[in-house]
C-alpha cells in the first residue's frame, strides 16, 4: 500500500522537494556571502565612509541591474524551452561567478563579476514559475509558502555560518562555498525535476502580449510594482548592515558573527510563518494578508531609526521577517492566480525584473542616504517605500472593485 501511494504522488510535489533544496542552496549561499560584502571591500583598500558605502551599494546592486535587463529575455526563452533549462542556466552560471568572486583582488573586479552573475541568476524565481504552472489553484498559497521556506531557511543558516567562516578563514571563503552550493543545486535540479512542458506556439501566443489574457490587469501590475518596492525596502539595509552593526558595537567584538545573526533573524521569522500565512491567504484572501504585512512592515522599520543597540535591532528585524512572509509569497500567489498558464513565464520574468530593479534602487538609495546623512536615516527612507507600496496595492484593488 505504501509503495502504491508513493507511485501516485503527483510530479509537482516531487518537483517541490527538489526545488526546495535548490532554493535552500541558493538562499544560503547568497546570504552566506552578501552580509559581509562591505567588510570584504574594506580589505581591498583604505576608503572613507562615503566611498565604502558607495562601493558596497554598487557591488550589491549591480547584480540586480543586469538581472533586470536580461530577465524578460530569459522569460521568453522559458516559454519556448521550459523552466527547467532556465533553472540549470541560473544554477550553473552562479556556480562559476560566485566561485570567481572569491578570487577578486580589486573592488572593480568584484563589481564586474557581480554584474556577470546577475545575467545568469534567477533560480528562485524560475522555481516559483515552474511550481506555479503545475500546482492546483486551491493549494497555491500554501505551496508557494512552502517553497519560500526553502530560500528563507537558507537565508537563516547562511549568515550565521558565513559569519563564523568569515571570522575564522576570511571573507573570500563564503564565496567559494556559495559556488559549491550552486553546483549542488544544479545536480539536484538536473536529476530531481521533471517538467511536462508544452511550448508556446510560435505563430500565436509567443507574439501576443503577456497581459492579453489577464482579466485583472491592474492587480497584476500592482503585484509587479509591489514586488519592486518590497525588494527595495527589504534590501536597502543589506549593503550597510554590517557597517551599521560595527557602529553600534563601537568596532568591538566579533562583528562578522553578530552581523550574520542580525542578518539571519528575518529568515527565522519568515521560516516559521511563511507557510501558515500562505495557507491563511488561501482561507481569507491574499489581499488581507498582503495589506497586513505592509502595515506591520512600516510599523517595524520606523522605530529602527531610533535603535541604539544590536539587541533591539535584532528584535525589530525578527518582526521584519514576519512581515516578509506576508509579502513576496503572497504577491507571487496573486500573480499566479490572475495569469494564464501560457503567460506564466513571461509575467514572472517581468516580476523578477521588477524585483531586480527594487534591489538596485533600495541599496543605491540607502548608500546615498547613509553617505550623506547617517546609517539610521536609511530606515526612514525604507518606511516611506513601504507606505508608497501600501498605496499602490490599495488603489489597484479599489479600481478592480469599482469595475464590478
DSSP characters over 180-200: HHHHHHHHHHHHH------PP
Whether 28 is covered by a domain: the verdict is yes
In a domain, 4, yes or no: no
- Name the strand (E) or helix (H) holding 124: helix 123-132
Q: Which residues contact 261 (CB under 8 A, 6 or more apart)?
A: 159, 160, 163, 314
Cell of 256: 562578522
Asked whether residue 2 is domain-assigned, the answer is no
| Residue 275 main-chain phi, psi, to 5 deg | -65, -40
Give every CB contact of residue 121 below 8 A, 6+ residues apart in sequence. Answer: 63, 67, 90, 93, 94
Domain count, the chain: 1
Residue 388: which residues within 8 A CB-CB, separation 6 or more? Answer: 229
Would you state the pLDDT for residue 259? 81
Whether 159 contacts 265, CB under 8 Å: no
Strands, E assignment, 34-183: none
Q: How much is the pLDDT for 342?
A: 66
Radius of gyration over alpha carbons of the chain, in Å? Answer: 20
CATH number of the structural domain spanning residue 298: 1.20.1250.20
Domain interval for residue 209: 10-403
Long-range contacts of 167-175 (CB under 8 A, 24+ apart): 167/254, 167/256, 167/257, 171/36, 171/39, 171/40, 171/43, 172/40, 172/102, 172/103, 172/104, 173/102, 174/32, 174/33, 174/36, 174/102, 175/33, 175/98, 175/99, 175/101, 175/102
The answer to whether position 244 is within a domain reads yes
Which tens digit of pLDDT belongs to each residue from 127-182? 888 887 777 776 766 777 788 778 877 877 887 788 788 878 888 999 999 999 99
In a domain? residue 43:
yes
Residue 237, in any domain of the structure = yes
Cα separation, 370 vs 91, whole angstroms? 33
In 312-375, where do the E strands start and end?
A: none
pLDDT tens-place string over residues 319-366: 988 888 878 777 877 777 777 766 776 777 777 778 878 878 888 888
Tell me which long-range contacts 138-141 makes (C-beta under 8 A, separation of at least 24). 138/282, 139/282, 140/282, 140/333, 140/336, 140/337, 141/278, 141/279, 141/280, 141/281, 141/282, 141/286, 141/329, 141/330, 141/333
Check if the beta carbon of residue 36 is closer than 8 Å to that of residue 242.
yes
SS3 252: coil
Burial class (CB in 10 A: 0-12, 13-18, 19+), 303: middle
Q: Phi, psi at residue 208, to the nearest 5°?
A: -85, 150
C-alpha cell at 36: 559581509
- Cell 573586479 sits at which residue? 109
Residue 246's pLDDT is 86
Domain contains 166? yes
CA dist list (Å): 388 to 28, 225, 305, 394: 30, 10, 18, 10
Q: Give CA–CA dist 12/195, Å, rounded.
A: 9
Q: 196 vs 127, 166, 184, CA distance in Å? A: 14, 42, 23
Given this model, what pLDDT does residue 25 score?
A: 93
Per-residue model confidence (pLDDT) at position 224: 86
pLDDT of residue 1: 46
Burial of 2 (0-12, 13-18, 19+ CB in 10 A): exposed
By CB neighbour count within 10 A (0-12 exposed, 13-18 middle, 19+ buried), where does 386 fall? buried
How many helices (H) and strands (E) the chain has is answered by 17, 0
Is residue 211 included in any domain, yes or no? yes
Task: Write out residues in the chain with pLDDT < 70, as ranges.
Answer: 1-8, 138, 140-141, 199-213, 341-342, 345, 400-404
Task: Check: CB of residue 264 under 8 Å from CB of residue 163.
Answer: no
Amino acid at each position: 500500500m505504501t509503495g502504491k501511494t508513493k507511485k501516485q504522488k503527483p510530479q509537482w510535489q516531487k518537483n517541490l522537494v527538489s526545488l526546495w533544496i535548490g532554493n535552500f542552496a541558493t538562499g544560503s549561499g547568497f546570504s552566506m556571502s552578501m552580509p559581509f560584502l562591505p567588510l570584504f571591500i574594506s580589505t581591498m583598500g583604505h576608503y572613507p565612509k562615503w566611498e565604502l558605502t558607495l562601493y558596497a551599494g554598487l557591488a550589491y546592486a549591480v547584480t540586480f541591474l543586469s538581472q533586470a535587463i536580461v530577465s524578460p529575455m530569459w522569460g521568453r526563452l522559458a516559454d519556448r524551452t521550459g523552466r527547467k533549462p532556465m533553472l540549470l542556466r541560473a544554477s550553473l552560471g552562479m556556480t562559476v561567478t560566485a566561485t570567481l568572486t572569491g578570487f577578486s583582488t580589486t573592488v572593480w573586479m568584484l563589481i564586474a563579476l557581480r554584474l556577470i552573475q546577475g545575467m545568469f541568476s534567477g533560480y528562485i524565481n524560475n522555481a516559483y514559475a515552474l511550481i506555479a504552472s503545475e500546482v492546483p489553484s486551491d493549494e497555491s498559497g500554501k505551496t508557494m509558502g512552502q517553497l519560500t521556506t526553502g530560500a528563507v531557511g537558507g537565508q537563516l543558516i547562511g549568515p550565521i555560518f558565513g559569519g563564523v567562516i568569515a571570522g575564522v578563514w576570511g571573507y573570500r571563503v563564503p564565496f567559494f562555498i556559495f559556488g559549491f552550493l550552486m553546483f549542488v543545486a544544479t545536480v539536484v535540479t538536473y536529476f530531481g525535476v521533471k517538467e511536462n512542458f508544452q511550448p508556446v506556439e510560435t505563430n500565436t501566443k509567443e507574439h501576443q502580449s503577456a497581459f492579453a489574457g489577464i482579466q485583472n490587469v491592474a492587480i497584476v501590475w500592482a503585484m509587479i510594482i509591489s514586488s519592486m518596492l518590497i525588494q527595495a525596502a527589504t534590501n536597502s539595509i543589506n549593503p550597510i548592515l554590517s557597517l551599521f552593526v560595527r557602529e553600534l558595537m563601537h568596532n568591538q567584538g566579533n562583528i562578522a558573527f553578530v552581523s550574520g545573526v542580525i542578518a539571519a533573524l528575518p529568515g527565522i521569522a519568515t521560516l516559521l510563518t511563511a507557510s501558515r500565512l500562505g495557507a491563511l491567504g488561501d482561507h481569507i484572501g491574499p489581499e488581507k494578508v498582503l495589506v497586513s504585512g505592509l502595515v506591520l512592515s512600516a510599523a517595524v522599520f520606523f522605530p529602527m531609526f531610533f535603535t541604539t543597540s544590536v539587541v533591539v535591532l535584532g528584535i525589530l528585524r525578527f518582526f521584519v521577517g514576519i512581515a516578509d512572509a506576508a509579502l513576496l509569497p503572497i504577491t507571487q500567489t496573486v500573480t499566479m492566480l490572475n495569469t494564464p498558464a501560457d503567460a506564466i513565464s513571461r509575467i514572472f520574468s517581468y516580476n523578477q525584473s521588477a524585483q531586480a530593479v527594487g534591489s538596485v534602487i533600495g541599496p543605491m538609495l540607502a548608500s546615498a542616504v547613509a553617505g550623506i546623512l547617517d546609517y539610521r536615516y536609511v530606515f526612514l527612507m525604507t518606511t516611506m517605500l513601504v507606505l508608497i507600496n501600501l498605496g499602490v496595492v490599495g488603489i489597484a484593488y479599489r479600481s478592480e472593485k469599482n469595475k464590478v
